[in-house]
């Protein structure tokens, strides 16, 4: 299943011109507030009409200005999960779920109702009403209702934005199961980088209504020229890592990365597991000599490949560590005092405590549960 988007929209206070193509898995629309993420996903849903362009799902035109095609929302086979669950308060969970199935035909390619219920872990909620559910439970039911409509694509507009960290932690594993268990493209809107790192297979970075980068998360996050678009506070880099060992005595896990070992707080993942690790640029220090007698456990040798100095007090440095990239945000004064320049060998220092549970993402597993039709 593929999604192709090439659209343009012009309004007095905002203009959007976006083009990209993506496939199965989670495609994250990422960018700062006002970048056009929700407008773009609403175009796919049929809630906002572009001025021109086309939107295709698996080759089927949902919108094509040249061919004068503009399918209404109910004919687009699009499942939509909003920030709020929008469940029917007078219906039980079972009735809310079955409401979604009214919009599909007799054949259902994504699995049985029981399989979707099990996938989302909502079997014990079926007789309850929305008022008795937690925020995370409501969102899981809303996702189930959207899936049971047998969509060709699932749209999720910041589905975790209204949840606290505990509820986010509750629902994220289920989103991973959806990504890995269903042959269904998911367009996921977010401005939270940890969610993107954990869930996304592809990242579309939007800025001021334009696609400024697209591709695998590691590649997009490795570009120093995208700091402003990603948001300087959230900006960072993503490293490919593998669990190498667990330190039971001190409660740590050692990860093998292209730049060397990385020690992080203890993970439950078994040895050999492949992970993605988000390292925020604001959490990286730079040394021109290997430091000794310091508390930081992570010292990665590398070479400066890019410097960003736009005259502000803070600059950005990109360091190649093996085949990976680490971004660092330091003061321009530090850049000057250290004599940093492209090509110089340096050490990136990362405190273990700066890497928390929200910094990790598991790579998609393409082997999902057996699918059956009902």
| Model confidence at 99: pLDDT above 90 | no
145: pLDDT strictly greater than 70: yes
Assign 116 a pLDDT band (cuts: 50, 70, 90): confident
Q: Which two tokens stand for residue 372?
A: 């059956």
Decide if 3-215 and 236-362 have a common fold.
Answer: no
Query: Do the beta carbons of residue 271 and residue 226 sit within 8 Å?
Result: no
> Measured between alpha carbons, how far is 43 from 41 in angstroms, rounded to an integer?
5
Whether the predicted pLDDT of 367 surpasses 60: no
Strands (DSSP E) contained in 216-372 are 236-247, 252-257, 260-265, 274-280, 284-287, 298-308, 314-321, 324-331, 345-350, 360-362
Residue 268 has pLDDT above 50, yes or no: yes
Q: How many whole angstroms separate alpha carbon 303 and alpha carbon 341?
A: 10
Stretch 337-341: mean pLDDT, rounded? 96
Burial of 355 (0-12, 13-18, 19+ CB in 10 A): buried
pLDDT at 174 over 90: no
The answer to whether residues 237 and 324 touch, using CB atoms and an 8 Å cutoff, is yes
Least confident range of 146-155, 250-259, 364-373: 364-373
SS3 of residue 137 by DSSP: helix
Average pLDDT, the chain: 87
Place of tokens 């090439």: 6
pLDDT of residue 127: 93
373 has a pLDDT exceeding 50 = no
Q: Order across the sheet with 260-265: list the strands.
A: 260-265, 252-257, 236-247, 274-280, 360-362
For the ranges 14-28, 165-179, 241-255, which has the lowest average pLDDT?
Answer: 165-179
How far apart are alpha carbons 131 and 46 in whole angstroms? 30
Angle between helical axes of 165-181 and 135-147 (0-180°, round to 10): 20
Residue 322 predicted with pLDDT over 60: yes
pLDDT at 140 over 80: yes
Residue matched to tokens 């589905």: 159
Q: Which CATH code of 3.40.50.150, 1.10.1140.10, 2.40.50.100, 1.10.3720.10 fits the domain covering 236-362?
A: 2.40.50.100
Instruction: In whole angstroms, give the CA distance from residue 26 to residue 31.
Output: 16
Residue corresponding to tokens 């320049």: 341
- Average pLDDT of span 316-339: 92
CATH topology for the 3-215 domain: Rossmann fold (3.40.50)
Q: What is the pLDDT of residue 364?
A: 64
Give per-residue pLDDT as tens, 29-49: 998 888 999 999 999 999 999
Give Cβ neighbours of residue 259 (< 8 Å, ≥ 6 apart).
Answer: 239, 300, 301, 302, 321, 322, 324, 326, 348
Between 121 and 1, residue with greater pLDDT:
121
Helices (DSSP H) in the chain: which residue ranges?
A: 37-45, 93-101, 113-120, 135-147, 165-181, 193-199, 217-221, 227-230, 332-338
Average pLDDT over residues 362-370: 51
Q: Name the pLDDT band for 371 (thresholds 50, 70, 90).
A: very low
Residue 103's nearest CA partner among 170, 133, 63, 148 is 148
- What six digits make up the tokens of 168? 């986010």
pLDDT digits (tens, 9 = 90+) for 269-304: 999 999 989 898 899 999 999 999 999 999 999 999
Three-state DSSP string of 61-91: EEEECCCCEECCHHHCCEEEECCCCCCCCCC
Q: How confident is the model at residue 204 (pLDDT cuts 50, 70, 90)?
A: very high
pLDDT at 44: 96
CB within 8 Å of 216: residues ≥ 6 apart: 201, 202, 203
pTM of the model: 0.82
Domain ranges of the chain: 3-215, 236-362
Residue 139: Cβ-neighbour burial (10 angstroms; 0-12, 13-18, 19+): buried
Work out whether strand 274-280 and strand 360-362 pair parallel, antiparallel, or are unpaired. antiparallel
């Amino acid at each position: 299943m593929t999604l192709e988007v090439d659209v343009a929209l012009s309004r007095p206070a905002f203009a959007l011109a976006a083009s990209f193509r993506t496939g199965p898995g989670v495609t994250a629309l990422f960018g700062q507030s006002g970048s056009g993420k929700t407008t773009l996903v609403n175009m796919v849903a049929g809630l906002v009409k572009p001025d021109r362009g086309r939107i295709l799902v698996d080759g089927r035109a949902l919108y094509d200005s040249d061919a004068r095609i503009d399918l209404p929302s109910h004919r687009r086979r699009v499942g939509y999960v909003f920030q709020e669950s929008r469940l029917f308060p007078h219906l039980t969970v079972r009735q809310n779920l079955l409401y979604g199935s009214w919009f599909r035909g007799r054949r259902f390619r994504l699995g049985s109702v029981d399989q979707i219920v099990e996938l989302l872990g909502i079997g014990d909620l079926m007789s309850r009403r929305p008022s008795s559910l937690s925020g995370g439970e409501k969102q899981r039911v809303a996702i189930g209702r959207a899936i049971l409509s047998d969509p060709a694509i699932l749209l999720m507009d910041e589905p975790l934005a209204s949840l606290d960290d505990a509820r986010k932690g509750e629902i994220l594993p289920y989103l991973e199961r959806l990504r890995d268990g269903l042959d269904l493209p998911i367009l996921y809107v977010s401005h939270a980088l940890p969610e993107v790192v954990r869930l996304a297979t592809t990242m579309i970075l939007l800025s001021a209504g334009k696609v400024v980068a697209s591709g695998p998360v590691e590649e997009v996050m490795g570009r120093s020229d995208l700091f402003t678009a990603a948001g300087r506070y959230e900006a960072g880099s993503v490293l490919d890592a593998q669990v190498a060992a667990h330190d039971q005595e001190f409660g740590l896990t050692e990860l093998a990365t292209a730049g060397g070992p990385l020690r992080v707080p203890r993970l439950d993942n078994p040895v050999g597991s492949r992970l993605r690790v988000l390292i925020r640029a604001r959490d990286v220090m730079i040394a021109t000599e290997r430091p000794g007698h310091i508390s930081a456990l992570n010292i990665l040798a590398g070479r400066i490949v890019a410097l960003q100095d736009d005259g502000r007090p803070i600059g950005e440095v990109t360091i190649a560590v093996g085949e990976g990239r680490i971004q660092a945000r330091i003061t321009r004064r530090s850049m000057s005092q250290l004599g940093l320049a492209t090509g110089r060998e340096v050490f990136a220092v990362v405190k273990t405590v700066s890497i928390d549970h929200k910094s990790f993402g598991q790579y998609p597993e393409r082997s999902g549960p057996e699918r059956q039709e009902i």
